[in-house]
Amino acid sequence: MIATLSRSTPVLVQGISGRMGRTHAAGMRAYGTNIVAGTSARGDLGDVDGVPVFHDCAAAVAATGATASIAMVPPGDVRAAVLEAVAAGIRLVVTIAEGVPVHDALAVGRAVRAAGATWVGPSTPGLAVPGEMKLGFLPDAALRPGPVAIMSKSGTLSYEIGWRLAQSGLGQSLWVGVGGDPVKGVRFADLLAPFLADARTAAIVLVGEVGGDEEEQFAAALAQVGAAKPVFAVIAGSEAKEGVAMGHAGALTFGATGTVRSKRAALEAAGVRVFATMAALVADCGDQRRRW
């Protein structure tokens, strides 16, 4: 569903009456997101800045036809929020909370897959179709419509990449923060098919990091289908010390898997152009764009 998002997609904000819900709902609406409803488990119904508030997702979907939601709830409430949204017929759920228990993430992943829905999270800055809409708190200054699709584990690194691309005249077609959790919904490999099929996308940028095997899985998927569009990547963490805990829960290495070297080797073998710095990646994107 990610590739079909647009300014007309009806969006539900779970937890809209809380401080974070109100703040980010206002920012998303200002960008153009079509927020049609909110929910509040606290019972403070009515409306938030003109958006009708319902007690649960089922009532909100029945009244407004919402098909996507973003849950502005604490980590301990993410499991219940996603399950409620999916049961109500929501096809895409985004969650932003840090520290969601792994067992909850496992349960959510199973339920979402069984329902044929899509979950971006548990922890992510969100996703965007620049110039159309965004779900989350991606900075507007880094969003500019264009031909480059971004997938990233790191929020702040993707903001920098997006801003640098925009400053160089290269905007984005799609932008998805998959987050750095060890157990998550959408992963890099899951985005390959929709990014390759998207007519607006001429090139793909992957912002990875040390730990986990997500980049290696993406490389394996890309090698199977072939690089129909140019793929550029930067892997953060080349100076990370072995055995030192990283900020992201998924930043774990296992022997020769999950290292910057193993990721780079796998990606390059699949035809990806891998760079040591963001500046080098953006510069090469600019040089290569005439071939797209």
Count Cα atoms within 13 angstroms, Cβ side, for 270: 29
The residues near 265 (Cβ < 8 Å, ≥ 6 apart) are none
Contact 269, 219 (CB under 8 A): yes
Structure tokens that stand for 1 in this block:
């569903």
Q: How far apart are CA 103 and CA 174, in angstroms?
A: 30
- Give the CA distances from residue 230 to residues 80, 136, 227, 234, in Å, rounded to whole numbers and listed in that order: 39, 27, 6, 14
Q: Which of 180, 183, 292, 178 is nearest to 232 (CA)?
A: 292
How many residues are present in the chain? 292
Measured between alpha carbons, how far is 183 from 119 in angstroms, rounded to an integer?
12
Please work out, in degrees rounded to the nearest 5, the angle formed at the alpha carbon of residue 92 by the alpha carbons of 77 and 182. Answer: 60
- Is residue 228 a contact partner of residue 255, using CB atoms and an 8 Å limit? no
Q: Which residues face 204 on adjacent strands?
A: 149, 231
List, by residue number, the catalytic residues: 248
Q: Which of 37, 136, 142, 156 is nearest to 94 (CA)?
A: 136
Q: How far apart are CA 15 and CA 74, in angstroms?
A: 9
Q: The tokens 């390959």 sit on which residue?
A: 192
